[in-house]
Structure 1
Amino acid sequence: MLLTKYTHACVRVEKDGTALVLDPGNFSEVEEAVSGAAAVLITHEHADHFDRERISAAIRADSLLEVYAPQGVAAQLREALDDDGAAARVHSVEPERSYTIAGFTVQTFGGQHALIHPHIPVVRNIGYLINGALYHPGDSFIVPHGVQVQTLLVPVHAPWSKTAEVIDFVTSVRAERAHQIHDALLNGTGLAMVEGHVSRLGKHYGTDFEHLDPGRSVEL
């Protein structure tokens, strides 16, 4: 598979001429990421992972594009698209399931977003494991069970986390390799510091961490 990193939490995965896009949010290059993709997977409803207006426009522009998301996100999209049948291409997904999406095997994990603050409601969040190899957790540190993740996408910074939790997530999953996501709120100095800890301590548990700039692609 070919993995392409976009700004913040958005990535594109391609295999055999087919592409999936995960979490095209309002910090990301949505149109570029989604262009020609067969499906979009959304982990949760927050705007930095789900740009409703631009995703709705992409669905209308491409009659083959399908979207898979937690029930609340799917409902928002269907309401926005309730005009020309495009809403039928929006599908709800549940945690702890296995799906076949555009020729990819997709397993789902988790169920809720990490706690930001008790005054801020917790929303649904689903992590996606693609072809048993690539794991995108969304906004959570849920460790997928019963599988050996090959490539882990690591949320390195968020209002709901601290660096110790980021490191514990990496060392718990013990993937062979890892790349950063959820990095748009850090400047270069902060990003280098967090990634340095993840890289150094991840090695103790067999994880090789590599930073990806937006637009860069790597073979998995």
Structure 2
Amino acid sequence: MLLTKFTHACVRLEQDGSALVIDPGSFSEVEEAVADVAAILITHEHADHFDEERISAAVRAEPQLEVHAPAGVATRLSDILDNDDAARVHTVEPEKNYTIAGFEVQTFGGQHALIHPHLPIVKNIGYLINGELYHPGDSFIVPHGVTVGTLLVPVHAPWSKTAEVIDFVTSVRAPRAHQIHDALLNETGLAMVEGHVSRLGKHYGTEFVHLDPGESVTLG
């Protein structure tokens, strides 16, 4: 399985001639990421993970493209599409198993991390793909009952602090980790956070490797 990192929280996965994308949001290269993919997975409704305008355009343009997302996202997207296109938008729930575009998908969590008590909490789904790659969206939910091979780490967000990032990595204990949710950090801040994650993650068997936008790695 080939993983390609795009800007911020967006990644593309390819295997056996099929591809899916997770979280093509407003900070990401959406058109490039979703080109010739069979499915889009959305973790939650925030714009940096769900670019409503560009994703709906992709669904209209690609008659085979399907979208899988929490209920709020699925409803919003279905409301702006005609009936035939809306039929390819599917609601996902936590603690379920799906087969999507030839990939085995397990879902975890259900709730976005708290930003502030005055701000509403939305649904958030973490996706484990082929029992190998875990994308948590905007949460630090540790997937239970499974062993994660490659962890995508949200290294910076309005809802987190560095200690929580490190605790997430050391709790999952995946052999490999790469960063996501990094668009709001400059080079200095990113180097600092990734340095902590890399150094402390090694104590728990995790090798952290930075990926630039457009860079790919083979998993499994």
TM norm structure 1: 0.99
**How big is each residue's C-alpha offset from its partner over 1:73-132, in whole Å with a ceiling of 9 and x where there is no partner?**
000000010x25100000000000000001110000000000000000000000000000
2:45 maps to: 45
2:145 maps to: 146
2:192 maps to: 193
Given the alignment of the two structures, is residue 162 of structure 1 paired with residue 161 of structure 2, yes or no? yes
SS for the counterpart of 2:143 is: coil
Q: CA deviation at 1:31?
A: 0.3
Equivalent residue pairs, number? 219
CA RMSD of aligned residues (A): 0.4
Match of 1:112, as an amino acid? Q
SS for the counterpart of 2:87 is: helix
SS for the counterpart of 2:109 is: strand
2:106 maps to: 107
CA distance in 1 between partners of 2:114 and 2:54 (Å):
27
Q: CA deviation at 1:199?
A: 0.1
**How big is each residue's C-alpha offset from its partner over 1:34-69, in whole Å with a ceiling of 9 and x where there is no partner?**
000000000000000000000000000000000000
Aligned identity (percent) is 81
CA distance in 1 between partners of 2:19 and 2:175 (Å):
23
Given the alignment of the two structures, is residue 183 of structure 1 paired with residue 182 of structure 2, yes or no? yes
CA distance in 1 between partners of 2:173 and 2:136 (Å):
14
1:57 maps to: 57
1:117 maps to: 116
CA distance in 2 between partners of 1:80 and 1:22 (Å):
21
TM norm structure 2: 0.99
5+ long unaligned stretches in structure 1: none
CA distance in 1 between partners of 2:20 and 2:62 (Å):
14
5+ long unaligned stretches in structure 2: none
Residues 6-17 of structure 1 mapped to structure 2, 5 A cutoff? 6-17=6-17
CA distance in 1 between partners of 2:83 and 2:93 (Å):
26
CA distance in 1 between partners of 2:83 and 2:168 (Å):
43
Q: CA deviation at 1:30?
A: 0.2
CA distance in 2 between partners of 1:91 and 1:116 (Å):
27
4+ residue segments displaced more than 2 Å: none
Given the alignment of the two structures, is residue 97 of structure 1 paired with residue 78 of structure 2, yes or no? no
CA distance in 2 between partners of 1:116 and 1:210 (Å):
27
Q: CA deviation at 1:151?
A: 0.1
SS for the counterpart of 2:141 is: coil
CA distance in 1 between partners of 2:168 and 2:184 (Å):
19
1:85 maps to: 84
